[in-house]
Amino acid sequence: MSLLRGIVVILVTACVTTLVCIPLFSLGAISLILPGAPGRRLKRSLEIWLFLWTGFNRFLLTAIRMTDIRLDWRELDTVSTDQWYLVISNHQTWSDILVLQTILWNRIPPIKFFTKEQLIWIPFIGIGMYLLGFPYVKRSTKQQISKNPELKGADRESVRIACRRFREYPSTVLNFIEGTRFTAAKHERQGSEFKRLLTPKVGGLSYVVTDMGSTFHRMLDVTIHYPDGPPTFWEFLKGKCRQVNVVVETYTLPADVLAEGTEREQRRHLATWIDTVWHAKDQRLDQLEAGAIAS
């Protein structure tokens, strides 16, 4: 039964994605050609297709009871779709994206995140994300940069261009600041000081804060906990994930993080603050795990 459910979810999602992409691609192509204000207005209108697509994902997850999401968001009444938000979250599985889309849908603007440029080749989704303004980054290795120093500033420029567009209308920028999905092997290899998290990497986040810091209404820190352990994406689609605990903490970006200065100074202040936020998240995950074990 779970196998059939997974297959049905994939087929239905593929059909809906195709239907959404047809008008998105057509209007997106026109928006790339139109100059000035008309082009910008058309690009913004494309957001409705992202809203509908993520809304369908949320509806499907709820309709077939894919999982039971238990949400603790005490300041939910302080957010709206008319403001700008920075969202950070721990990252364990690709299922995190569906969870985030579900809890944030129609509460704040649709989430967008930085992704590897190779993902643009995913059929339909890759081009769709590009047209919707999802920033693609190269993420060059140190070895590649040493051979070609020009690569060092490539990601910085990609972030700057993306943030310029994000500032044009209310937007939500998502950053998985661990830089990769959590696994026990990665945790051990990294020697992380945190019990249930990898060490946060604030490089990319600092670029976003530098370019958009004062624009953000709030930062939302999302903690995702799977009582039975993180499922694979396929297990999640099959309904094998019994429950997901989600806690959302709302923060105002500190004054020293937003203060004018060099990017190096801002990054230092940001790293210090995020370290505090991350320690609080680590304790929160401990509490959630203890509760799950107790039940």
User: Is the Cα torsion angle 176, 178, 179, 183 positive or negative in sign?
Assistant: negative
Q: What is the mean pLDDT of the chain?
A: 89
211 pLDDT more than 50? yes
Kindly tell me the number of DSSP H helices and DSSP E strands found in the chain: 12, 8
Per-residue pLDDT, averaged over 187-207, amounts to 93
106 pLDDT more than 70? yes
One of 2.60.120, 3.40.50, 3.40.1130, 1.20.120 is the CATH number of 68-294, namely 3.40.1130
- Strands 243-251, 218-225: pairing is antiparallel
Q: Are 248 and 72 in contact (CB under 8 A)?
A: yes
pLDDT reported for residue 152? 66
What value, to the nearest 5°, has the Cα angle with vertex 226 and ends 222 and 227? 130
Q: How far is CA 97 from the centre of its chain?
A: 7
Q: Are 202 and 86 in contact (CB under 8 A)?
A: no
Q: What is the pLDDT of residues 15-57, one digit of tens each?
A: 998 899 899 999 999 998 888 888 888 888 999 999 999 999 9
* Percent of the chain scoring above 70 in pLDDT: 94
pLDDT reported for residue 285? 96
Q: Residue 286 and residue 288: Cα distance in Å, rounded?
A: 5
pLDDT band at 292 (very low <50, low <70, confident <90, very high): low
Q: What is the pLDDT of residues 129-146, one digit of tens each?
A: 888 888 887 766 666 666
Q: Are 100 and 174 in contact (CB under 8 A)?
A: yes
pLDDT reported for residue 294? 41
| Token code pair at residue 73 | 């968001």
pLDDT reported for residue 120? 80
